Amino acid sequence: MPRPKRIVLVEVAPRDGLQSEARILTTEAKLELISRLAGAGHTVIEATSFVNPAAVPQLADAEDLMKRLKRRTGVRYPVLVPNEKGLERALSAGADDIAVFASASESYSRKNLNHSRDEVFAAYAPVVRRAKDAGKHVRGYLSMVIADPWDGPTPHDVVRDCARKLLDMGCDELSLGDTLGSGTPHEVAALIEVLQASSIPLATVAMHFHDTYGQALANANAAMSLGVTTFDTSTGGIGGSPFAKMSGGNLATEDLLWLCRGENIETDVDLDVTVATARWLAGELGHELPAHVSRAWARG
């Protein structure tokens, strides 16, 4: 399959990135981050999460942030909701894009969401239906699609069935996450081929890679070669799961942009602005960020 001429980046630093940071940024700093990301050219920016503030204190200001967010024309700002109560909070705060989060593995579902995998899917059906009835775009996250630290490798047929459930309940797109960050290009390719053979359109699929074992960029490269054109990335490479401490940071936005620059793949996201944003964010968080490109440019 020919390489894509254009890909879409879903910038997840304000939610998935910040949720794992020790330092809690002010709402003003978060709004500044989102504004900088939109200024870099991002058209999809994951803004925050309406989970229980006690579970993720870094995002406890979700209502205030969404109400104060100055939306730019042509930019989507999805927010994560864990249940109907979270959806109600998000809708009241003016959210237009909704995301739900499930796990392909049983253990992570119980540890992260406190329910079995089947219970989670059953609970999300009315959430997605209500969001769709309200005219909202819905994204379905599916974590642990390669392996789980407690259950081991995730069977491809389980990932396929879970992905199909999310689409069937009304999700407009899927984000398939190698949450543990243990996947290799061969494993990623094998999973994508199963999805293709199961008539799950790759146009609905985004890949979400973590860089725990240094494989995130290689995995994205492999996925592009098989027709995936949407990728979740995080400026500076921040992120991980507060519920799976062994998980590394997300695929860094600037690292994927560097690859795309070298292969003439369009993204509409400015690399220089992204690196500048990563440097600013490192100052706000009080530590160096893991993205390779930003660190290399700082040394240059």
Answer yes or no: is pLDDT of 293 > 60.
yes
Confidence at residue 73, expressed as pLDDT on a 0 to 100 scale: 96
For residue 146, pLDDT beyond 60: yes
Task: Say whether pLDDT at 242 is over 90.
Answer: no
* CATH superfamily of domain region 8-299: Aldolase class I (3.20.20.70)
Query: Nearest to residue 249, comparing CAs of 92, 4, 17, 71?
Result: 17
| Cβ within 8 Å of residue 102, ≥6 positions away | 109, 113, 117, 120, 121, 124, 140, 141, 142, 143, 162, 166
Say if CB 192 and CB 161 are below 8 A apart. Answer: no
Average pLDDT score over residue span 84-99: 97
Task: Spell out the residues 6+ positions from residue 39 whose beta carbon is closer than 8 angstroms to its own.
Answer: 273
pLDDT for position 241: 67
Both tokens assigned to 95: 């959210």
From its phi and psi, is residue 144 left (phi > 0), alpha (psi between -120 and 50) or beta?
Answer: left
Mean pLDDT of 181-187: 97
Residue 245 pLDDT > 90: no
The residue among 88, 114, 92 whose CA lies nearest residue 103 is: 114
Domain boundaries, the chain: 8-299
Distance CA 222, CA 232 (A): 15
- β-sheet bridge partners, residue 230: 8
Looking at residue 117, what is its pLDDT?
Answer: 94
For residue 220, what are its two tokens? 């994205």
Question: What strands, in cross-sheet order, belong to the sheet with 48-49?
Answer: 44-45, 8-11, 230-233, 205-209, 173-178, 137-143, 97-103, 79-80, 48-49
User: Which CA distances in Å does 180 have to 109, 156, 276?
Assistant: 14, 16, 28
In percent, the amount of the chain with pLDDT more than 70 equals: 97
Give the model confidence (pLDDT) of 215-235 as tens digits: 999 999 999 999 999 999 999
Instruction: Report H helices in 26-105.
Output: 27-40, 62-68, 84-92
Q: Please state the pTM of the whole predicted model.
A: 0.96
**Residue 113 banded pLDDT, cuts 50, 70, 90:** confident
Q: Nearest CA to 226 among 185, 265, 259, 257?
A: 185
Average of pLDDT values for 75-95?
97
